[in-house]
């Protein structure tokens, strides 16, 4: 199949024939249920991560609202918000590592089982994905380190929440230390 060839329409019978050529019929049922199960686990862990992100956004909003609700309130509540964000980031990084385990398995099944079946092309490289998947099922391992997970969640979501808390803290410090004339005296704060 050349890249310029028009896409072929794959019928249900052609897909079934392509799959049974690669796997015995008894294994196809097992693989289908396995794929659905892994996809379900992946979705469940993604929802858990989303819940942690929602908690972080709500906590940030609540801390900032509390800091600005009373002009006499201390700006020290905002560093507490940062500590809370660090805790939630740690929880979310742990959940992201679990999500990545299931996502990797689902992606492996999609790439090495579904794509070749849909293309019905025997020239696709198969590799040792079956052995990798079997070893992962026998002895599951994380696919990334804790710090890599923290870095990914920080760069995608939490950096913005930390920036908002920092900005709110700077505004609050300015408002607390602002003399009636309007200029800021940093020496009086420290």
DSSP code per residue over 38-87? HHHHHHHHHHHHHHHHHHHHHHHHHHHHHHHHSTTS-TTHHHHHHHHHHH
Confidence tier at 29 by pLDDT (50, 70, 90): confident
Question: d(Cα 25, Cα 16) in Å, to the nearest integer?
Answer: 9
Domain ranges of the chain: 12-174
The 10s digit of each residue's pLDDT in 134-178 is: 888 899 899 999 999 999 999 999 999 999 999 999 998 888 776
Q: What is the pLDDT of residue 190?
A: 47
DSSP summary character for residue 126: -
This prediction has a pTM of: 0.75
Tens of pLDDT, residues 11-28: 556 555 656 666 666 677
CB atoms within 10 A of CB 125: 7
Averaged pLDDT, 107-131: 75
In tens, the pLDDT along 62-104 reads 999 999 998 888 888 999 999 999 999 999 999 999 999 999 9
Which of 12-16, 29-33, 56-60, 103-107 is predicted most confidently?
Answer: 56-60
């Amino acid at each position: 199949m050349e890249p310029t060839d028009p896409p072929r329409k794959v019928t249900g019978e052609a897909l079934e024939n392509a799959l049974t050529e690669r796997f015995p019929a008894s294994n196809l049922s097992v693989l289908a249920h396995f794929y659905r199960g892994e996809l379900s686990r992946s979705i469940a862990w993604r929802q858990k991560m989303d819940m942690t992100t929602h908690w972080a956004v709500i906590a940030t909003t609540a801390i900032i609202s509390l800091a600005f609700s009373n002009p006499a309130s201390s700006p020290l509540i905002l560093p507490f918000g940062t500590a809370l964000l660090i805790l939630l980031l740690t929880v979310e990084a742990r959940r992201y590592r679990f999500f990545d385990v299931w996502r990797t398995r689902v992606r492996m099944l999609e790439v090495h089982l579904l794509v070749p079946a849909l293309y019905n092309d025997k020239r696709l490289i198969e590799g040792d994905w079956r052995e990798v998947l079997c070893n992962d099922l026998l002895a599951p391992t994380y696919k990334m380190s804790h710090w890599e997970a923290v870095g990914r969640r920080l760069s995608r979501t939490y950096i913005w929440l930390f920036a908002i808390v920092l900005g709110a803290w700077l505004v609050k410090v300015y408002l607390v230390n602002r003399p009636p004339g309007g200029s800021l005296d940093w020496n009086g704060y420290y």
